C-alpha cells in the first residue's frame, strides 16, 4: 500500500497542487499588490464568496498575439520533432545493430552532452550560428557562400537548438524498442526473398511504432513550452508560448493572464499525452 501511495503523493504535491494554484489565479483579476491578483475566495460575515473571472480566457481568444504564440509553439515543436525522428531513427537503428560492447559506448556518447549545463550548450550554439560564427566562417572558407547567412535570431536557429537539445529523448526510446525486436522475423523475411527496404517498411518500422510514439511525445511536449532556446536563439519574430508566459509573469506582472496561458497550454498538451497513453496501453496488450 505504501509503495503504491508514494507516486500519488508525489503527483499531488508537485503537480496537482501547483496546477490548482495556477488554475485559481487564472480566474482572478490583476491588481497592483503583493501578490498581484485579487483573491477568488472571500470570507465575509460567515459567508464564503466565490468570484470567477472568465475575462482572462476571453482575452486570450480575442488577442491574435496569443493565438499566434500557441500556433508558433506547436509549429516549431512539430518541425523539431519530425527532424529529431529523421535524425534519431537511423542513429538508434545503428546502435541497436552494433555489437553489445560498442552499444554501451554509443549510449554513453549520446548521454554525454547532457552532463554539461543546458544553458552553456545553448550559448555554444550562439557562437556557431552567429554571422561571424563557426558555421558561416566554415562555409565562407569552402566558398559555398559569398556572405554570411542570417541564421541567428530566426526560427531556424530555434529549431536547430531544440533538435540538438532533445535528440537524446528521441534516440533512447527508439533504441530501447529496437533492441527488443525479434530478429527472427527479419531473418524469415530475408529467407523468403524480401528486399531490405521492403523488410524495413513491412516489419522493422511497424514494430518500432511504440518507440516512435514515445520519442515523439518526449520531444514534442517539452518543446512546446520551451523558453531558454527561443529566448537565446530566437528573434523578435519568434513567438512561442514559453517566452510569452515569461513576459506576462515577470515583465507585465499580469499573473491572471499568464496563469490562463499556462492552463490553456496544458489543455493543448493533454491531447498528445492521452494519445501516448492509449498507444502505450495497446502496446502492453500486444506484448501481454
pLDDT in tens, 49-84: 888 888 899 998 888 888 899 999 999 999 999 999
Q: Distance between CA atoms of 6 and 141, rounded to whole angstroms?
A: 58
The dihedral built from the CA positions of residue 247, 249, 253 and 255, taken in this order, carries a sign that is positive
Q: Distance between CA atoms of 151 and 245, rounded to whole angstroms?
A: 25
Question: What pLDDT is recorded for position 166?
Answer: 95
**DSSP single-letter state for residue 114:** G
Containing 47, the helix (H) or strand (E) segment is strand 47-50
End-to-end Cα distance, the chain: 25
Question: What pLDDT is recorded for position 284?
Answer: 65
Q: Distance between CA atoms of 177 and 85, rounded to whole angstroms?
A: 14
**DSSP single-letter state for residue 16:** I
Which residues are paired to 202 by β-bridges? none
Q: Digits of tens for pLDDT over the chain (288 positions)?
A: 676 678 778 877 887 888 889 999 999 988 888 888 888 888 777 788 888 888 899 998 888 888 899 999 999 999 999 999 999 999 999 999 899 889 999 999 998 888 888 889 999 999 999 988 899 999 899 888 888 888 899 999 999 999 999 999 999 999 999 998 877 888 787 777 778 888 888 888 888 888 898 899 999 999 998 999 999 998 888 889 988 888 888 888 889 999 999 999 888 888 877 877 777 777 666 665
Preceding peptide of 35 cis, ω within 30° = yes
How far is Cα of residue 2 from the mean position of the Cα atoms in its chain? 32
Question: What pLDDT is recorded for position 283?
Answer: 67
**DSSP single-letter state for residue 260:** H
Question: What pLDDT is recorded for position 286?
Answer: 65
Amino acid at each position: 500500500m505504501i509503495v503504491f501511495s508514494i507516486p500519488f503523493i508525489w503527483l499531488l504535491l508537485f503537480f496537482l497542487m501547483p496546477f490548482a494554484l495556477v488554475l485559481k489565479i487564472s480566474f482572478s483579476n490583476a491588481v497592483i499588490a503583493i501578490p498581484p491578483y485579487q483573491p477568488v475566495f472571500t470570507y465575509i460575515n460567515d459567508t464564503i464568496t466565490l468570484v470567477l473571472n472568465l475575462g482572462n480566457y476571453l482575452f486570450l481568444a480575442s488577442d491574435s498575439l496569443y493565438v499566434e504564440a500557441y500556433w508558433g509553439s506547436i509549429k516549431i515543436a512539430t518541425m523539431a520533432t519530425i527532424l529529431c525522428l529523421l535524425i534519431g531513427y537511423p542513429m538508434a537503428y545503428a546502435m541497436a545493430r552494433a555489437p553489445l560492447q560498442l552499444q554501451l559506448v554509443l549510449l554513453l556518447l549520446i548521454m554525454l552532452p547532457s552532463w554539461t549545463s543546458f544553458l552553456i550548450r545553448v550559448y555554444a550554439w550562439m557562437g556557431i550560428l552567429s554571422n561571424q560564427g563557426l558555421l558561416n566562417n566554415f562555409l565562407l572558407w569552402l566558398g559555398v557562400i559569398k556572405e554570411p547567412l542570417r541564421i541567428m535570431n530566426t526560427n531556424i536557429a530555434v529549431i536547430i537548438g531544440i533538435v540538438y537539445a532533445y535528440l537524446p529523448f528521441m534516440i533512447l526510446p527508439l533504441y530501447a524498442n529496437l533492441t527488443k525486436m525479434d530478429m527472427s522475423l527479419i531473418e524469415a523475411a530475408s529467407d523468403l526473398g524480401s528486399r531490405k527496404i521492403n523488410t524495413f517498411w513491412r516489419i522493422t518500422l511497424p514494430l518500432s511504432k511504440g518507440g516512435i510514439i514515445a520519442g515523439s511525445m518526449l520531444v514534442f511536449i517539452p518543446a512546446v513550452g520551451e523558453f531558454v532556446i527561443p529566448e537565446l536563439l530566437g528573434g523578435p519574430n519568434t513567438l512561442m508560448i514559453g517566452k510569452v508566459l515569461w513576459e506576462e509573469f515577470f515583465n507585465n506582472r499580469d499573473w491572471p493572464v499568464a496563469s490562463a496561458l499556462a492552463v490553456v497550454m496544458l489543455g493543448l498538451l493533454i491531447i498528445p499525452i492521452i494519445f501516448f497513453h492509449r498507444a502505450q496501453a495497446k502496446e502492453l496488450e500486444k506484448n501481454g
